[in-house]
Amino acid sequence: MKKHLAVLSSFGLLALVLAGTQPARAQVTATAPKDSAPSFSYAPTDDTNNPALQAWQQAFGASHNERMQWWRAARFGMFIHWGVYSVPAGMWNGTNVPRSGSEWIMNRGKIPMADYEKLPAQFDPEKFNAEEWVSIAKNAGMKYIVITAKHHDGFAMFHSQASAFNIYDATPFKRDPLKELADACAKAGIKLGFYYSQAQDWNHPGGAAAGGHWDPAQDGDMDKFIDTVDIPQVKELLTNYGKVAVIWWDTPVNMTPERAERLLPLLKLQPDIISNNRLDSKKLTGDYGTPENKIPTNALASDWETCMTMNGTWGYRAADSKWKSTDTLLHNLVDIASKGGNFLLNVGPTSEGLIPAPSVERLKQMGDWMKVNGVAIYGSSKSPLKAEPSWGRVTQKGDTLYLHVFDWPADGKIVVTGLKNKDIAATLLASGKKLKTSAADGGVTISVPATAPDAISSTIVLKLKGAPEVE
């Protein structure tokens, strides 16, 4: 992964272009430690003549809204960064390789292919249990999972016929964890997606590398790499693992429109699949934008998803103990939902196949909160208010507003500034207790009990008569 902000998906961009409107650049707020991985520019362009964009719109534009319905309702998913890089876990020859996430260790440590290819012999994740992983996600309130099928190191986490550099053929494990995960997700009703690094590949000749190759063995023809590795592996992923909900591309180094266009037809193998906007170097194709470790300060014009680490790395790093608190993670989830986005929260399993205990603990706590308050997140839309309240955030479902109160008022009064509706019924979501309201020119005031129902975020339900009226 790398530092990355995509403001608009191509579908939203095309709609703005056709309407004669120039897309605005969104401001973002950093919510995680700075990642020193390469920062690629993903600001939108108006290159409507781009062949990849034209191919995308012709094949997938008309079905965009229909395909996105489940995703917009889900709001919360699990990202899993797992690979052979979990063996060194951020250390190489006794030295910490601190730059970027641990999944970048080969690039940051300039490790030769021949040396890196010795790692799979040490990778035997016997404690991996697909049903346990899916249960952790489901109990956290997550509705979908996206797992790294192949990261930039080129190591496939599935049994691929296109390259022997995969978990089945190159390790003592001799199992296909993606197949096991697909079966467990289908059983539990969780949607499954695959992350696939289509451009960067540091272990197959011709694959791209941020900053350039450091080993002559990496040199080769990128078009041949796409033909012999990318296309057959993506075809395997979209053919052999049942229904695939998401394809999550990443870091399109040297990924020209013409190269991206060669991969697009493969998506027809899964007619309902949705894809992010990181396939081509001009970020023009795809269904949604992908801010990384950032949350926009304002709602964006089209579909978007913030992916975020729980600590400072995506893949497992043994030395990283800088965990975000459950409070922060839940506030981020609410903040993102209040702006109409999805939250893809990452876990980085160990080389044994275990999700780290601090991640499991935080996900359980988030799940406890979601069991009570999830109705205010799932299927919600962005806040209709023109300004963020000082006390928290707001989500909406039709004529119902959900007030997510982070800072419970000492004076027992919550003011919803700018809300003009007069006929309002207010209740606490957790208990159903009715609350008194009063409307004035400046907004609506709600009288609340002295003690917050939840120490992290309490939810108040405002049932309006008609649509929200704001000023």
Closest CA to 309 of 80, 37, 5: 80
Please report the pLDDT score of residue 45 as a whole number. 53
**Which stretches in the chain have pLDDT values below 70?**
1-46
Written as one letter, the residue type at 369 is W
The β-bridge partners of 76 are 343
Give 430-463 pLDDT, tens digit per residue.
Answer: 999 999 999 988 899 999 999 999 999 999 999 9
Distance, in Å, from the CA atom of 5 to the CA atom of 272, rounded to the nearest integer, reads 25
Q: What angle do CA 134, 135, 136 make, to 5 degrees?
A: 90
Closest CA to 246 of 342, 106, 109: 342
CATH superfamily of 10-376: Glycosidases (3.20.20.80)
Integer-rounded Cα radius of gyration of the chain? 23
Please report the pLDDT score of residue 283 as a whole number. 87
Residue with tokens 């919803």, as numbered in its chain: 416
Is residue 194 within 8 A of residue 147, CB to CB? The reply is: yes
**CA torsion sign, 366 to 367 to 372 to 376?**
positive
Distance, in Å, from the CA atom of 164 to the CA atom of 150, rounded to the nearest integer, reads 13
Distance, in Å, from the CA atom of 22 to the CA atom of 40, rounded to the nearest integer, reads 21
Computed over every residue of the chain, the mean pLDDT equals 91
Give the CATH class of 392-464. mainly beta
Distance, in Å, from the CA atom of 361 to the CA atom of 311, rounded to the nearest integer, reads 13
Distance, in Å, from the CA atom of 439 to the CA atom of 396, rounded to the nearest integer, reads 19
Distance, in Å, from the CA atom of 203 to the CA atom of 207, rounded to the nearest integer, reads 7
**CA torsion sign, 83 to 87 to 93 to 94?**
positive
Distance, in Å, from the CA atom of 171 to the CA atom of 202, rounded to the nearest integer, reads 19
293 in the Ramachandran plot: left (φ > 0), alpha (ψ -120 to 50) or beta?
left
Strands, DSSP E only, in 294-386? Answer: 294-296, 305-308, 342-347
- Taking residue 297's Cβ as centre, other Cβ atoms within 10 Å add up to 12
Is residue 194 within 8 A of residue 177, CB to CB? The reply is: no
User: Which letter does DSSP use for residue 112 in this model?
Assistant: -
Closest CA to 215 of 224, 223, 203, 226: 203
Distance, in Å, from the CA atom of 6 to the CA atom of 288, rounded to the nearest integer, reads 9
- Taking residue 86's Cβ as centre, other Cβ atoms within 10 Å add up to 25
Q: Helices 130-139 and 357-373 meet at what angle, rounded to 10?
A: 40
Distance, in Å, from the CA atom of 290 to the CA atom of 293, rounded to the nearest integer, reads 10
Q: Helices 326-338 and 357-373 meet at what angle, rounded to 10?
A: 50
Residue 30, H or E segment: strand 28-30
- Taking residue 25's Cβ as centre, other Cβ atoms within 10 Å add up to 11
Give 65-113 pLDDT, tens digit per residue.
Answer: 999 999 999 999 999 999 999 999 999 999 999 888 899 999 999 999 9
Domain ranges of the chain: 10-376, 392-464
Please report the pLDDT score of residue 41 as a whole number. 31
358 class by beta-carbon count within 10 Å (0-12 exposed, 13-18 middle, 19+ buried):
middle
Q: The tokens of 174 are what? A: 């001799």
Is residue 404 within 8 A of residue 389, CB to CB? The reply is: no
CA distance to 16, 61, 192, 303, per residue, from 19 (Å): 5, 16, 34, 17
Written as one letter, the residue type at 321 is S
The β-bridge partners of 146 are 79, 193
Closest CA to 273 of 248, 246, 243, 250: 246
> 10-376 and 392-464 share one CATH topology?
no
Distance, in Å, from the CA atom of 360 to the CA atom of 364, rounded to the nearest integer, reads 6
187 class by beta-carbon count within 10 Å (0-12 exposed, 13-18 middle, 19+ buried):
exposed
